[in-house]
Structure formats: C-alpha cells, structure tokens
Structure 1
Amino acid sequence: MSAAAPFRVAIVTGAGDLTAAHAVRTAVFVDEQGVPADLERDALDALSRHVLATAADGTPIGAGRIAPDGRIGRLAVRSDWRGRGVGDAMLRALLEAAREAGLRETYLHAQLQAMALYARAGFVAEGARYEEAGIAHRTMRRVAGAAFPVDDLAAAVDATVTLVSAARRSLWLRSRDLDPGLYDHPDVLAALRRFATGGRGVQIQVLLHDPASVQRRGSALLALSQRLSSAFAFRAVEDAVDREYAGAFLVNDAGGFHVRALGHRVDGEAATDLPGRARQLAQQFAPVWERSRACSEFRALGI
C-alpha cells in the first residue's frame, strides 16, 4: 500500500472477507445498478476464487471473482473509489490467480462502459452486444502466450482496439494505405485518441506504402493525427525491397500485435501476450522506418 494507491487487494481466504466482498457487490450491482439480488448471487460463488480490495482503514471498496473455467466476473468498485486504479489492481490479481491455476484463457462479460478497463489488460471483445440483467454487455477474451485468428473486419476492429488500449508508450503500424474500414472505424479512432492524449511521451509511428492514395481519399485517422500531431509520425516506404513487402501489421510495446500476410486484407492473426514475437516485429519495423522518407504528401496538414 502506498500514498499513490492507498488500498490493498488480496485473495479472499476467510468467511469474513467473503462476506465483505458480497457486501460490495450488493452495493454496486443491486443497490446502484438495480440487478435483482437473486441474479447477483449464484452457485459459482462457492466454486470461485474471490478478491477483495480494502482501503487503508480496512473498509471494503472492491470485489471480484474468477470461476474454475476462467470466467472473471462480479468485478465491482464502490462509486467513491472509481477512477483510482482499484479495478485494474483487482483484475491483475485475478489474472495472476488464473496463471497460478494453469488457465491460459480467461473471459468475461463486460458492461460496455467497463470495456476499456479490460482492453488495457489484453481482453479482446468478440461477438455482438447482449443484455444481462437489463444491462448491455459484450464478451471479452484473453489468451495468454498464444496467437488467435482474426477472420473479418469486426474481429480486426476488436483486436486493434485492445492493442491500442493495452499499449504503454509506443505503437508501430505498417499499412499500405491506412486500411479504410479499419483505421477509420469509430472504435479504433476513439482508442487512438485515448492513447494519444493519455500521457506524455506516447508515440505512434506509421509506415505507409501509398500515402498518395490516403491523401486523395482522405482519412479520419489523418484528421485525428493533425489535431494530435505530437503523438503521430508518418513515413513512406521508398526502398525497392521494402516496397515488395506484401503484408501489414500493428504492434504495441506490451507484447501484442495483429499481423496480416496480405496488406489489402484484414484477416490474419493477433496476440495480446506474445512479447517475443512482438519484439521481433518492432525490430523489423525499426530499420525500414529509418530508411523511409517523410510523407511530403501530408506537409500541408502539418503532420
């Protein structure tokens, strides 16, 4: 516990702490959000591992659980403690419990307003929205130490949002023409905006094969980068060998990537927790960036 984070998160080991965790959940889900009490408590409670967050004075402020099949749920933080890192800390504790239990895959049903929290931890949304207890949700999944297929545009958008959200300071993007439909998708743009404005020193380096096409077509990502020019840098591939590269990729500095063998398609594979492969992609990007030219096509935009 520190002055910056005056709370403690621990795995529940006794009946008293479990009772305290249930009290937090009741306050958040039943009293605040109107979830029926008979839905908030279920048979999985007895089978799950629970975490409890407490303030410096011992007051319970957060709770969560992970079921034997890897489903994380009932993540609740009291209203006066939100935005102070409690949810992130509890999620890290639950992921560590999953690792100790040998669970490579974890998943959860995320309330829409909480999706950014889970994306930062490497969870990728999948499927359509649905309602649970009258509240809109999406399923999100995290696969540790393995890649997973990205088969269509919707999956590419979801993977990209997570990769951007999980990045610490750096993103490296290699694209032919900023992939219309993907990098101008509202969810991707919102994630990029949050990343670019989330702290000092963040950097998004973009290597393009056809900047002239982007200029002719226009791009919502270009417009965003014009407003946040300190975070974005663009270069155009010029070397003949580099121009023969047919693929595309996005890689972050948190061990995640989305790689496509053919740059004009969105299908490929992605991972949120393969740091060795991510480092290889970043190392592949670096020398191409150094020998590429500034995008004079965007000079009028101040980029």
Structure 2
Amino acid sequence: MNSWTSDKLGYRGENKGPRSILYCAPEEFVDEEHPYAFDMYSAAITWIRMALSDDGHDEELADDEDVNDDDAARSSRGLGNENELFKWRMDVRNFGHDLVAWEEYATLHDSLPHGWDDLFGSSRLGIQALRLLSNMMSYSPEFRMSAAEALVGPYLNPGCDAGPPPELPPAMPYSITSHIQRWKKDREVHGECRLEDLFTTVVAVEIDWPLSGLSFGPVNETAKRSERKAGGGGGGGGVRVNSIVSDVGESSSLSRQLGGLLREGDRLLAIGSIDVEDASVDHVMDLLDQWPPRKPVAILVVRDA
C-alpha cells in the first residue's frame, strides 16, 4: 500500500497487484474513499478460516454406520480446507455477501460448515463474535466496521475497559473526507458496552421435536401493540418464553427434556447460531417451522441473574 498511487486503484487487472477470491472484499479492489475497509473484510475471512480449520468431520462420518452416502456428500468439512473455503465464499456471495442471511438459510438447510454451530451457537460470546464478523463483512465498504470500532466492541473489549481509539495514520489525499468521518464515528462508539451482561446469565438448552409445550411472546407487550397500531407489522424487539405447558404433567417429554433449565420470562438470544435477540415473534416462529427434521433445536436464552 505504501507504493499506492492515484493511477493504481487496487488489485484488479494488469499491474494492480495480487489478490485472491478466497479473501478479497466484494469490491475486489481498494475503494479510494474507504481504503482500509478492504483489509477489514479480509481479516474477517482469515479469522473464520483459522477458527474453523478442523476438517476431521469426514472421518467421523465414515465411521458412523447410521450415516448414508447422501448425508456424507452433503456434510461440510472445516474451512481450513481450501475447496470448502471457496465453496463457502461463493455461497455467501450468492446472498449478497450478507453473512446473516446466508447463515439463516444454511442453518435451516443443515448445510453449515463443520464446527460453525459449536463455535457461534453455544454462548453469548459466540453470538458477539458472529455480530463482529458480520459487521466486518458488510457488502458496502462505506458501512464496514473499522478496526477501532471492533477493538472497543463487546467481543474484543469484554471488560469495557478499552482506551480511546488511537489516532489514525495520515489520510491519503483522495480519502480525507471519509477519513475524518470514520475518525468521528470511532470516537462516538467508544464506551458503548453491554452493561446488562454483568447482571444476566446465558443458558443453553437443546430440545427435541415437538415444541408444542412452549409458548413465545414479545419481550415488551406495550411496544408490540404500538408497532401494530402504527402499521409496523410487529417486527423486532425480542422474544421471551411466555409459558411452558405440559398436558400430561411432569412426565411429559418436554418437561423431562428441559429439566427446569428453561424458565418463563427467559429472553431468546439465539436459535442454533442464528442471532434472534432483536427478532420478532413471527420471525422466530417462522424459523422453528422450517427447522430441519430430526435435528434438535438448540436454544440460547438470556436470564436476569
């Protein structure tokens, strides 16, 4: 980048420098107005590949007599495998580089890369990591998260004790405007921290079908009614467990599965690794209706300590 000049606009084409489709951002060359955004996207891909480098899934399937050839063919190895990484990049591209949209589709079609659920769907920390990566992989370089924003966010700054963002290096002449705007935004996000995490706990529950004994509702009933009156369709705001109903007493299958782990008032954080903390009841019910058959439903809930 030190030898970058106004007549050398990026990595595409003759004399533009090397790039790899496995790691480059959607724009495929450095955007003059947002030059640092290119590397943020690549950093996200590198992080995911390193974290999901385990490729032993195929060996596990080969040893499992209950898995047929079709299941083995559909299974994914870890993204440490370059062919799997390329396939994953193409899949995400087909969803407009929207990691959230791709992940929801892949979850419902049981085609997530090996290890994805374990990494992102088992704790609040995993959901925070996925939110960070989604922001780093925003399609538009203008809205892609900067390094300074990432460093003061809840995943990389869990103690909320990070210092102010460092001074940015000198701006390139053609990116001064975006450079100043980004610096201001980095300053504004400093100190933003989820203090509620200090007073809540996250519980993971895995439930088999059917879920007929569970009833869900909006976190804030008043806000929900206001949205409907305003014609907003009742979207967003979060979902809570309204009730756990058993039609045959404590001996019911659902009661035995939950074992008291899930409680009325618990707020949904994730279904599998799908972030539903701010989702609507309709969206959550739609996800559950489409859940792959024979696959247990893994639910993360947030509970007041």
Pairwise TM-score range, normalised by the shorter structure: under 0.3
With the length of structure 1 as denominator, give the TM-score of the two structures: 0.26
Using the size of structure 2 for normalisation, the TM-score is: 0.26
Q: Which has the higher contact order (CA 8 A, sep 6+)?
A: 2
Q: Counting strand residues as a fraction of each chain, which structure ranks higher?
A: 1
